[in-house]
Amino acid sequence: MSIRRCALLCLSALVVLSSTASAAENGFEYGSGLRGPAEWGGFCANGTKQSPINVVMADTVLDKSLGDRLDTEYGKCTYAVIINDKSAHHLDVEGDGSFGNLTLNGVKYELVKFHFHSPSEHTIDGVSFDLEVHLFHKSADGKFAVIAIFFNESHEDDAESPFLKQVFSWLPNITQPDTNVTTMAPITLESLPLQGSYAQYSGSLTTPPCTEGVSWVVMLNENRLVSAGIVLNYVSNTENVLSAVRRIPKGFPGSEQQARSEYKMPECHAFRPSLIRR
């Protein structure tokens, strides 16, 4: 990698850190403090389609319009920048180039980054998971689509995720807040578990400004992950940058919205919850 290319990557990371720091200063924090999720204003407090949600399986009806699988074209990115972004409360992975794309409801989105939450933000029938991965996509006209994937810790050797193993192998290099590391090997997304059941609904970003109109795809299968232990250890040693989780909103206006969620069973049937009470 050239010095100029490295400089551009580092500058890009600094821009991300700077912009998210201002958001934190304006009241963006986690926990039960004065700037925690319960105190977030704007759409976060008054929106009618806020994320995350609890996917209630019993509140689903058949929707045959969904395809057999998600329409994704993911491959390899030569380099990626992994950022311990304390200001944004995220462990972000941003590509040096495109990770690939997702076509959803006729709209093409580019995968621009992914990040992690432990425990999960979304739940299924009230059950949470050890880890939730968000694949963050953006369309040419600025619309967002996010795929959420769940993992639970496993002690079986064959449960390892090649995709996450690549990312987690770099965690010891960014234990300090607001640090980043550039991977020197391809980040491969081809092994992502995108088969099987999934839910689709129109929601929001899970951080301020909690913008609505985000197309969510929630994979409903539980995936096993040996490296979950690495993640939990990382959380305990990095001021909990991964444990930044927005809980399912309760008591906000619109909290009993009609989520219009959809999910596809492995046998290629699809369902849509008529109402999700959160």
d(C-alpha 185, C-alpha 118), whole Å: 25
208 upstream amide cis, omega within 30 of 0: no
**Catalytic choice (89, 90, 122, 134):** 89
* Residue 65, both tokens: 């319009």
d(C-alpha 17, C-alpha 86), whole Å: 8
Q: 117 an active-site residue?
A: no
* Residue 110, both tokens: 């580019």
d(C-alpha 43, C-alpha 50), whole Å: 8
Taking the mean position of all CA atoms in its chain, how far away is CA 45?
A: 21
d(C-alpha 259, C-alpha 243), whole Å: 26
Q: Please list the active-site residues.
A: 89
